[in-house]
């Protein structure tokens, strides 16, 4: 007997889906802003920071980039309470995403920084700019412009990776999908729709990031 598709059965769960979308957006919005912030600070520390700061930052980057996101998430959510640090599932998920994106964006931003010609830094210094000014205007901004597409991709990857947060009962989009599927047993319809929603979210996020790039770097946007 042929399978009868019943997309209507998903409609009853529209509020669950909408809540899921909202939480996924919330996760990536907070996670991306703080995560890239962490990445910038760590990229600075790895390139220009004091000598004593470099090993711990390198250790952090290597540790996070070489372990699975799910394990990091479980460690933060289920492991840290043993040390007395109890987080809600939202806090746990956001911290895990920030820590994860922070490590990856550190390396991406550092690559952009290293591509800065030596002469530019010297030129900045000779114009009596402070080291902070040199970093901000001469190094960081062109570096970000250079690696903006790569960074955008990483942010989209982390957004898609937030699906894993359903495992600690964060009620984001994948949680909504699993929830609906375990109630109406319409696996195909549920995941088909949720796949479509993820695709739309990714396209939307990419578009937002591209516009942000145009706004941040008006001249000669790297694409």
Partner 1 sequence: MKRRSLLFFLTAALFAAPLASHADSLDDIMKAGVLKVAVPQDFPPFGSVGSDMKPVGYDIDVAELIGKKMGVKVELVPVTSANRIAYLQTKKVDFVISSLGKNPDREKVIDFSEAYAPFFNGVFGTADTKVTKVEDLAGMTVGVTRGSVEDLELTKIAPPTATIKRYEDNNGTISAFLSGQVQVVATGNVVAAAIIAKNPPKKPETKFLIKNSPCFIGLNKDEPKLLAKVNAIIAESRKDGSLNAISMKWLGAPLPATL
Residues that bind partner 1 in the complex, under the rule CB under 8 A: 74, 77-79, 81-82, 86, 89, 166-169, 175, 178-179, 182-183
Which residue in 209, 220, 36 sits closest to 146, CA to CA? 220
Least distance (Å) between residue 176 CB and partner 1: 11
Tokens of 140: 């960081």
Quick one: 29 or 87, whose CB is closer to partner 1? 87
Helix (H) or strand (E) holding 216: helix 187-216
Quick one: 148 or 175, whose CB is closer to partner 1? 175
Gap between the Cα atoms of 159 and 41, Å rounded: 21
Least distance (Å) between residue 188 CB and partner 1: 17
Quick one: 93 or 147, whose CB is closer to partner 1? 93
Gap between the Cα atoms of 62 and 65, Å rounded: 5
Whole-Å CA distances, 126 to 44, 110, 114: 21, 24, 20
Least distance (Å) between residue 184 CB and partner 1: 11
Q: Residues 52, 57, 60, 63: is their CA dihedral positive or negative? A: negative
Quick one: 75 or 137, whose CB is closer to partner 1? 75
Least distance (Å) between residue 70 CB and partner 1: 11
* Contact indicator for 165, 93 with CB cutoff of 8 Å: yes
Q: Rounded to the nearest 5 degrees, what angle is found at the Cα of 133, between the Cα atoms of 128 and 136? A: 150
Quick one: 78 or 214, whose CB is closer to partner 1? 78
Least distance (Å) between residue 3 CB and partner 1: 21
Tokens of 139: 């190094």
């Amino acid at each position: 007997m042929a399978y009868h598709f019943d997309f209507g059965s998903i409609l009853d769960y529209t509020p669950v889906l909408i809540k899921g979308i909202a939480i996924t957006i919330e996760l990536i919005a907070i996670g991306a802003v703080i995560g890239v912030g962490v990445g910038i600070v760590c990229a600075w520390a790895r390139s220009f920071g004091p000598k004593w700061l470099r090993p711990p930052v390198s250790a952090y980057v290597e540790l996070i980039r070489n372990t699975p996101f799910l394990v990091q998430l479980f460690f933060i959510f289920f492991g840290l309470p043993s040390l007395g640090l109890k987080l809600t599932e939202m806090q746990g998920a956001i911290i895990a995403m920030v820590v994860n994106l922070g490590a990856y964006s550190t390396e991406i931003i550092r690559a952009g920084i290293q591509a800065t010609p030596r002469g530019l830094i010297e030129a900045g210094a000779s114009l009596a700019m402070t080291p902070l000014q040199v970093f901000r205007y001469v190094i960081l901004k062109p570096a970000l412009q250079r690696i903006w597409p790569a960074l955008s991709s990483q942010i989209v990857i982390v957004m898609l990776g937030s699906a894993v947060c359903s495992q600690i009962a964060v009620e984001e989009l994948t949680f909504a999908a699993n929830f609906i599927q375990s109630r109406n047993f319409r696996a195909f319809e549920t995941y088909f729709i949720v796949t479509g929603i993820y695709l739309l979210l990714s396209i939307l996020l990419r578009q937002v990031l591209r516009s942000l790039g145009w706004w941040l770097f008006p001249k000669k946007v790297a694409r």
